[in-house]
Amino acid sequence: MSTSDDIWILGIRMTKFGKHPDRDVVDLASEAVLGALADGGVTMKDIGVIAAGNLMNATAGIGQQLQKQVGQTGVPVYNVANACATGATALRTAIMAVKSGEVDMGLAVGVEKLSGAGLLGGGGVAKADGDTWEPSGRFGAVASTDGRIGTNTMPGVFAQIGMEYGHRYGGTTFELFARISEKNHAHSTLNPLAAYQKQFTLEEIMGDMMISYPNTRPMCSANCDGAAAAVVTNGATLARLSGEQQRRAIKVSASVLTTDPYEEACQVLPNVNTLTRNAARIAYEQAGIGPTDLDLVELHDCFATAELVHYDNLMLCDEGGAVDFFESGAPWRDGTTPVNVSGGLQSKGHPISATGIANVWEVCHHLRGEAGDRQIEGAKVGLAHVIGLGSACGVHVLERSAA
């Protein structure tokens, strides 16, 4: 078994993503938490800390509300909000508490209700459109950048990011981005927890409603409701548990959170590339592996354009080689580096605060050999990635137990 300061995911669960009009965030979070506890074979009495993420729904601390449903044991609660990286940040918060030795076991949960939220602006907030601009907020009389030197709406931001990559390295076309979406929707048909399980033809994707060129509607992440939760523990505690718990535990070989280093341009418009590349580099160093050691990757494909640039940012290909990487067939389920076997955010859905842990859930199930029809055979090492504008990037490298 591992050394005592190793960190392990003992139990993990995500809810079915989709529309849940009859359930609120506490209901959804409770389902995920109770499922994760049951999956790990533990109870709330074993948990020493809770990190709870919610961005848009909770009027008071979601963690404290959640405790009233699943068990009020008096442990510390951290309420986390970090854009689309909220779930990954909650997980890292629980990991740090365990790794510090303060507690032996921690719980992380992310939950969101987003079905029907409409177009989201910067920071995951629904965009308010008005006929006139009124000065407000931190910048006072300085007008918004939206529509002047760029955009703060998510489809526009990531359209710009994809187009910039093509301008810099070449090879990108409308059809290429649509084919990335075609891959993810095809993968989704094997994921029963995905919000949408529908295969699209390339013609259907390219002919659908244009949201922000080159992203049509099927190429955009799906606003939906959902939750995901994970129980983490240290190696010394895991060694005292049953053989079955040890066998199913997944080692967290790296847990990394980064923000933007200073660049003059990104004081106004976000740069999702530098902080992701920095996070990936640190994660590979922590885990003692390289990109070629990965058996699968769940990355933040909030738009088809985002997936392409993150092939490069996560160093799955040579710098500038994302187009060739995709054309090689590598990111398909039967390729050399399967990417978004879950269907990705475009199909699985994107309840903002749940996504970071849901991506980890997907990787864990392949490493356990429990992914059903979409199982990547023999998977031993996987990477989960998420990014939130503002900006924050979370990367977790996960390894199968040797027990």
Q: Average the pLDDT over each of 22-26, 232-236, 265-269, 389-393 and give the range with the smallest value.
A: 265-269
Residue 156, in any domain of the structure = no
- pLDDT for 117 equals 65
DSSP 16: P
- Cis omega (within 30 of 0) for bond into 391: yes
Better-scored residue on pLDDT, 281 or 119: 281
Residue 182, in any domain of the structure = no
- pLDDT for 136 equals 62
Q: Which residues contact 47 (CB under 8 A, 6 or more apart)?
A: 37, 73, 75, 103, 105, 106, 107, 231
Is this model's pTM higher than 0.75 or not? Answer: yes
Q: Specify the CATH number for the domain of residue 44.
A: 3.40.47.10
Residue 172, in any domain of the structure = no
What are the residue numbers of the active site?
A: 84, 350
Residue 79, in any domain of the structure = yes
Euclidean distance between CA atoms 375 and 287, whole angstroms: 23
Residue 70, in any domain of the structure = yes
Better-scored residue on pLDDT, 297 or 144: 297
Into how many domains does the chain fold?
Answer: 1
Residue 210, in any domain of the structure = no
Residue 49, in any domain of the structure = yes
Euclidean distance between CA atoms 273 and 38, whole angstroms: 38
Are residues 331 and 339 in contact, defined by beta-carbon separation less than 8 angstroms?
A: yes
Residue 385, in any domain of the structure = yes
- pLDDT for 1 equals 39
- Whether the predicted pLDDT of 392 surpasses 90: yes
What backbone phi and psi angles, to 5 degrees, belong to 120? -100, 145
- Report which of 313, 346, 388, 336 is spatially closest to residue 162, judged by C-alpha positions: 313
Question: What range defines the domain where residue 309 resides?
Answer: 7-116+222-400
